[in-house]
Structure 1
Amino acid sequence: MTTLSSLNLAAPLVPTPRSDSVNPAVAVDGDARRMVALSPSAIVTIPSASSITVLETYTPEGTLSAAMPTVSWASDNRDAVTLRMAGNYAAQTMAGRFAGLGSALLDRFRTTGSDYSQTVSVGSAGVGGIGRSSQQPAGQIGLTVRTASGVTVEIALGSEDGGLSVSIKSSGALSESERNALAKLSEGFQQAIDGLGAVPPKLDLSGLTQSDTSVLASVSFEYSITGAGNADVSASYSQDSAARSLSVTSAAGTMSVKVDTSHSALWGTNAQRAASVASYLQQFDHANSRGHGNATLMSMFEDGFAQMNESYGTPSAEVLPGTGYGPGLQQSAQAMLTGLADFSASITDASASPNPMRPGEIDAFSYQVSQTTQLEGSRFEGKISQSQRSHLVASYHQALKGGAKPALTSLRSSQNYDYVRIDDSGESAVQLAMERGALAHASLRQTSDRSTRHLKYERGVLTSDLATPEETSRSTELLSLLEPLIDKGDAARNSAEWQQALSRVHRMILLNASK
């Protein structure tokens, strides 16, 4: 007796006579049925392939082959956020999944002022109805805002295993001014998300840094993409009335910027800040070029530094020590400072060891820059000292000809390259003193210490080892540059000549470690 067994173990088949009304995929013709009844052996005529309906079978993972994924919603809503999620959850990139979602959530809160959550889950049918993880990258985004009245609003976006979730909740009712201030973060929140989700990632925090600190006491933004390999990136930004802090980690390396905004007396005019930021960006470019740093990470570093120093909000009534006698003293002192709030910033590239014959030779890049200011005295007499510092440590390989990266292998014939080590530092320090309503002392001291070690290898043999130190130091009496104009009354009149002199002094005091 011949026995027919289905490959679908979940539904075994037994060949029994069936009427002509059954599914043609399993029916046999009349002659075959009669032969089954008359003979201990069975002869079955298989229908043509075109008439077969494929039975459902399970994959080794326990899911139905050819089964459509199941989509489940936590809430049966038809609001704008749900519609946005419905259009986003199937996107192949995290940028696509979070596109427009942050702003949509804040826009809804502006209108309703109520808490909200929604989730869409995606799975596939399996044995016992259990789905399997899609092993896709995961993303988590958060925005926490605390208002001046003490109310905390938390916004969360998440994507995991092909699903998408959002929520917003408030610890209390918001006033109209607070809701308006929060609504103004809508575009900035989405810009920050879109920038970090771009390829390569970018920083666009300007919409968050410009929040109204008189209404929103603090703003905190978190972003994390994991499980995406080299596309993994995490970022954190926070600000309140006294400080701003940014950190970013990616496959390219890490960077951080911290700004102390607690002393508004240090904040210069828009023109002074813009000039100082532009000068620093030139310094960053020079350091990156000299040390062969990662261009993408440095671009993010520059964007973060510029955005965090573009504007600090509304200043307090604080003035620089010793400048209370008149605007001329305030202008003089401010011109000899950067106009920026004190800060510290650093960037470190992911290191590499590209030479198998000399694994101790590391390609690396690390750069730090900072400003610190000390204020002593009262409104009518006082001292000010401000110091700007930078430090670059880098090392890299380059081909003997052309300066490109060499293709280094374990073969001696590939070992033709230069290995360069750099250690640079620079400082610009200003000392000011105001006595009895006059500028009594103003000096500038700038130093630069640059060290370059150049090792040359030919067929794996060190043929040259050259160290080149460079040291410079100069001091300038700034008071002598301004006294003639002060004596002539240009300072009191705030003449064009006086403003030009202040601009020249301001350019002189800016850090320039490349000289």
Structure 2
Amino acid sequence: MTTLSSLDAATTLALAPLVSSVSPAAEAGSVASSLAALSSSTVVTIPSASGLAVLQTYTPEGTLTGTAPLLSWAGDNSDIVSLTMMGNYAAQTMAGHFAGLGSALLDRFKTTGGDYAQSVSVSSASGLAPVGQGSNGPNGQIGLTIRTKSGVTVEIELGSEDGGLSVSIKSSGTLGESERSALAKLSDGFQQAIDGLSAVPPKLDVSGLAQFDTSALASVNFHYNVTGDRNGNISASYSQDSSARSLSVTSAAGAMNVKVDTRHSALWGTGAQRAASIASYLAQFDHANSRGHGNAALMSMFEDGFAQMNEDYGAPSGETLPGAAYAPALQQSDQAMLTGLADFSASITDTSTSPNPMRPGEVDSFSYQVAQSTQLEGSAREGRISQIQQAHLSASYHQALQGGGAPVLTSSRDSQNYDYVRIDDSAQSAVRIATARGVLLNATLIQSSAQNTRDSKYERGVLVSDVNTPKDTSRPTNLLSMLEPLIEKGDAARNTAAWQQALASIHGMIFLNSA
């Protein structure tokens, strides 16, 4: 006979919601312990913890509290991927849903290369989705497609929708041991890319994907698409093969794209030279963002992507610059006059806004493009090289007359005291080199820039000044004249410290001049 002598105690227990951060079995065990701790005159007979029923109450959203979630698995859930999913399904963010899941999937390739699929759907005993999950929660799709050198294609998908999780691996053929190992080595890079984009604010980390084993893998394609998360909506893609790399990101803040052409390894400088070139470009990006009042977080992602895609191109093919094959000093001098980076194009565009209700045509905007293109002509004995770097900035913004910050603009004339600034800048740096029979015949550098700033000043909504300020510069430099004395004295042939110092000095001169 079951006796309940303390109705108040039982009622109190029934009104206490279950803790959602622990598993359903743990929740049931916790409640059973609480019942046993009631007064000694209370005796409760419980057939099993899983059969425990308590009074149910409703949340303000109309869902039941104290209802343990029910999990439905597509297959056996005893493997490490399923265990990872079991720990993630209740998370309220994409970062929590996909924590460790991408790396767990790729780690499978250490021992097996077979296809795999698993999914878990979540509901409550009432048939309703658990609180915080369902159609109003964050949804995401993440994928990684890899093609091996032998032609096998492997597709990896992760999905989160309506509070559930799904993963799959599909292979078009049997993988060899070296291919499985190369795939497993991508596990950290795959997870880092996921974790970065899922962070608040989002960050970009594709460096681990960019450094895949090119002896076993031919290409890698990554995509990320999330809606309704803390970061809002964000989508990203990264692709890489033996000839090109491409990155794109789109979010509420704006959009960015970076493309790198890696076909000509003769353009690749040393690691130190690339690092110096990347540092110079990042300084240019910072300058443009500061001048145009761009979105700092989006520019940070842009800079990270640019640096990660250019820091290491892998093993060079052995290609040499035209006209420099038989003279090491000439090869050095030509390389010093180039950036050492592969050709690229990149752009970033902030989402435009119209902050002034009295003049909606005045938009705050930021758009920046930068590119490098190189032409190689000739043979090993003689040749011509032309490398052009270009950048363009178009921006507009509102600035308070006092303090220089963003003004608070309303429909009141008293708020209409501000500068509306429009910027249109461009810059170019062009190097042209000619060589024949081991002799440097010509080497010139032409740098130019054009800045145009228009400042319209308003006081109580009345235009009081409208000033347009152009600034153009052009500077030619004869690089050959800087090297000829050292060539004639034999410093070039002996590769002296003076020769190396001159080359370093020239390399520091060739970048874009935005002033």
TM-score by length of 2: 0.87
Cα distance change on mapping 1:269 and 1:56 into 2, 3 Å: closer
2:159 paired with 1:140: no
Give the match for residue 322 of structure 2.
Answer: 321
Give the match for residue 94 of structure 1.
Answer: 94
Any conservation in 1 of the 2:267–2:342 contact (CA below 8 Å)?
A: yes
Alignment of 1:356-367 (within 5 A): 356-367=357-368
Any conservation in 2 of the 1:89–1:162 contact (CA below 8 Å)?
A: yes
Give the match for residue 206 of structure 1.
Answer: 207
Any conservation in 1 of the 2:201–2:231 contact (CA below 8 Å)?
A: no
Q: Supply the distance in 2 between the matched residues of 1:100 and 1:58 (Cα, whole angstroms).
A: 34
Any conservation in 1 of the 2:190–2:209 contact (CA below 8 Å)?
A: yes
Q: Supply the distance in 2 between the matched residues of 1:78 and 1:68 (Cα, whole angstroms).
A: 21
Q: CA deviation at 1:467?
A: 0.8
Any conservation in 1 of the 2:157–2:169 contact (CA below 8 Å)?
A: yes
Give the match for residue 462 of structure 2.
Answer: 461
Any conservation in 2 of the 1:64–1:125 contact (CA below 8 Å)?
A: no
Q: After superposition, give the CA deviation of every residue in 1:394-449 in whole Å (9 maximum; x if it has no partner).
A: 00001101111111000000000111000000000001101122110100000010
Amino acid at match of 1:403: G
Any conservation in 1 of the 2:220–2:240 contact (CA below 8 Å)?
A: yes
Q: CA deviation at 1:55?
A: 7.7
SS at match of 1:233: strand
Give the match for residue 368 of structure 1.
Answer: 369
Alignment of 1:147-158 (within 5 A): 147-158=148-159
Alignment of 1:489-508 (within 5 A): 489-508=490-509
Give the match for residue 37 of structure 1.
Answer: none
Amino acid at match of 2:119: T
Aligned residues: 468
Any conservation in 1 of the 2:93–2:230 contact (CA below 8 Å)?
A: no
Any conservation in 2 of the 1:109–1:115 contact (CA below 8 Å)?
A: no
Any conservation in 1 of the 2:448–2:513 contact (CA below 8 Å)?
A: no
RMSD: 2.5
- Comparing 161-170 with 363-372, greater Cα deviation is found at 161-170
Runs of 5+ consecutive residues of structure 1 not aligned to the other structure:
1-20, 26-52
Any conservation in 2 of the 1:212–1:313 contact (CA below 8 Å)?
A: no
Give the match for residue 416 of structure 1.
Answer: 417
Amino acid at match of 1:506: H
Q: Supply the distance in 2 between the matched residues of 1:212 and 1:255 (Cα, whole angstroms).
A: 27
2:115 paired with 1:115: yes
- Comparing 283-292 with 167-176, greater Cα deviation is found at 167-176
Tell me which stretches of 4 or more aligned residues in structure 1 moved more than 6 Å. 53-65, 129-132
Q: CA deviation at 1:133?
A: 4.0
- State which structure, 1 or 2, has the greater radius of gyration over its C-alpha atoms: 1
Any conservation in 2 of the 1:178–1:215 contact (CA below 8 Å)?
A: yes
Q: Supply the distance in 2 between the matched residues of 1:124 and 1:323 (Cα, whole angstroms).
A: 72
Any conservation in 2 of the 1:288–1:298 contact (CA below 8 Å)?
A: yes
Q: Supply the distance in 2 between the matched residues of 1:459 and 1:385 (Cα, whole angstroms).
A: 53
Q: Supply the distance in 1 between the matched residues of 2:260 and 2:412 (Cα, whole angstroms).
A: 49
Give the match for residue 27 of structure 2.
Answer: none
Give the match for residue 447 of structure 1.
Answer: 448
Residue identity (%): 73
Runs of 5+ consecutive residues of structure 2 not aligned to the other structure:
8-52
Cα distance change on mapping 1:376 and 1:54 into 2, 3 Å: closer
Q: CA deviation at 1:62?
A: 10
SS at match of 1:227: strand
Q: Supply the distance in 2 between the matched residues of 1:338 and 1:456 (Cα, whole angstroms).
A: 41
Q: After superposition, give the CA deviation of every residue in 1:242-281 in whole Å (9 maximum; x if it has no partner).
A: 0000000011100000000000010011111111000000
Any conservation in 1 of the 2:383–2:436 contact (CA below 8 Å)?
A: yes
Alignment of 1:58-77 (within 5 A): 67-77=67-77
Cα distance change on mapping 1:57 and 1:302 into 2, 3 Å: closer
Q: Supply the distance in 2 between the matched residues of 1:497 and 1:423 (Cα, whole angstroms).
A: 41
Q: Supply the distance in 1 between the matched residues of 2:409 and 2:497 (Cα, whole angstroms).
A: 60
Cα distance change on mapping 1:491 and 1:56 into 2, 3 Å: closer
Give the match for residue 14 of structure 1.
Answer: none
Amino acid at match of 1:112: T
- Comparing 293-302 with 175-184, greater Cα deviation is found at 175-184
Cα distance change on mapping 1:458 and 1:59 into 2, 3 Å: closer
Cα distance change on mapping 1:153 and 1:412 into 2, 3 Å: same
Give the match for residue 295 of structure 1.
Answer: 296
Alignment of 1:227-306 (within 5 A): 227-228=228-229, 231-306=232-307
Amino acid at match of 1:326: A
